[in-house]
A and B are shown apart, each in its own frame.
Chain A
């Protein structure tokens, strides 16, 4: 059974990371990340969302994936870090 989850997570420093995701049996089916942070190159956020598809909603796996994203793309976050992306996703609560 699919569940919709969402979170408004405030990163240290005040930037907001908003997560809307579809979850099924503990796995992310799709995720949309929005917010007022900075990420360069900007197009890389879409890659992160794609990488998170079918990932288990568990901290260790998410941390590994987001780390792989930063290393693989060379993306630079400002106002948002690896830790913030992981915490924002994990804090997403069921909305319906």
Chain B
């Protein structure tokens, strides 16, 4: 249902029915694959069965990410033409809308930097990946931050292509990622990271982020999208 809500909000924002929105959310053990990826090639199905990991496809491109309760997801939906992202260049959107997360992580003491195309890294290791789209009259950007995630399971359930690992000069996906906890050398809750990112967004974007719940119409659309798309094997596992 989380990925259905992820699509419902930018659709509603684009229609002018919802305001510009920052959403924070969690998933239990799930691999979220990019819309152009092949589940068969990217995911270790056996390891998913063993670890109870679900597989869901999102509507944006980019690579597969592993979600668990130690992972914080954020999503920013703005109406097309919003002054924060006036252009239609996807790379500029990623860079501009990652600034809040980068700033939030830095406030916590993590030496985070945006790394094109769509990563936030600390000393060459990925701590967050982003994806996004420009559609439905909206600009959408979402990212997942590894806060306290179980990198052991991540390394098992994701198949990373040999070609890809060679490019990064590392032997496994596990060695090219890090967590906020590992960088700080202390336990940290996803709520603490969320608060820091809200601060980061407010200072980088010059906006005030106010807490709120999903509107009834957003939930209704998300429910419809879940029934017709995100709960279906043909969407999640094909091509």
Using CB atoms and an 8 Å cutoff, list the residues of chain A in contact with chain B.
8-10, 13-16, 18, 32-42, 45, 76, 78-79
Q: Which of B160-176 contact A (CB under 8 A)?
A: 161-164, 167-168
**In the bound complex, do residue B135 and residue A33 qualify as a contact, i.e. CB atoms below 8 Å apart?**
no
Report the minimum CB–CB distance from B15 to chain A (whole Å).
17
Which of A16, A32, A39 touches B161 (beta carbons < 8 Å)? A16
The answer on a CB contact under 8 Å between A38 and B164 is no
Considering the complex, give the chain B residue whose CB is closest to the CB of A15.
B117
Q: What 9 A-B pairs have minimum CB-CB distances, sorted nearest first?
A: A36-B63, A38-B61, A34-B38, A78-B90, A79-B117, A8-B163, A10-B163, A14-B167, A8-B161
Main secondary structure of the interface of A (DSSP, over half): strand
A-B contact pairs, 11 of them (CB 8 A): A14-B164, A14-B167, A18-B41, A18-B161, A37-B62, A42-B35, A42-B61, A76-B88, A76-B90, A78-B91, A79-B117
Residues on B with beta carbons closer than 8 Å to the beta carbon of A40: 61, 90, 133-135
Q: Which chain B residue has the least Cβ–Cβ distance from A13? A: B117
**Highest count of chain B CB atoms <10 Å: which of A14, A15, A33, A38:** A38
Please give the number of chain B residues whose Cβ is less than 8 angstroms from any Cβ of chain A in the complex: 32
A37 touches B61 (CB 8 A): yes
Q: Is the CB of B135 within 8 A of A38?
A: no
Instruction: Given contact pairs A10-B164, A34-B239, enumerate 16 new A-B contacts (beta carbons under 8 Å).
Output: A8-B162, A10-B163, A13-B116, A16-B161, A32-B38, A33-B36, A34-B37, A34-B41, A37-B62, A38-B61, A38-B118, A40-B134, A42-B60, A76-B134, A78-B94, A79-B117
Q: Is B127 an interface residue (CB 8 A)?
A: no
Bound Cα distance from A39 to B135, whole angstroms = 12
| Cβ-defined contact, B117 with A10, below 8 A | no
Q: Which of B36, B131, B135, B168 contacts A35 (CB 8 A)?
A: B36
Interfacial residues, chain B to chain A (CB-CB below 8 A): 34-38, 41, 59-64, 88-91, 94, 116-118, 131-135, 161-164, 167-168, 239
Which residue on A lies nearest to B63, using beta carbons? Answer: A36
Identify whether the interface residues of B are mostly helix, strand, loop, or mixed: loop
Among the listed A16, A33, A34, A41, which residue makes an inter-chain contact with B164, where contact means beta carbons less than 8 Å apart?
A: A16
Q: Given that A41-B135, A78-B117 are known contacts, is A36 also in contact with B64, CB under 8 Å in the complex?
A: yes
Q: Which listed residue (B38, B89, B116) contacts A18, Cβ 8 A?
A: B38
CA distance A60 to B41 in the complex (A): 30
> Is B167 in contact with A35, judged by CB distance below 8 angstroms?
no
Chain B residues positioned under 8 Å from A33 (CB to CB) = 36
Q: How far is the CA of A10 from the CA of B168 in the complex (A)?
A: 11
What residues of A have a CB within 8 angstroms of the CB of B35 in the complex? 42
**B164 CB contacts on chain A under 8 angstroms:** 10, 14, 16
Complex Cα distance, B167 from A14, in Å, reads 7
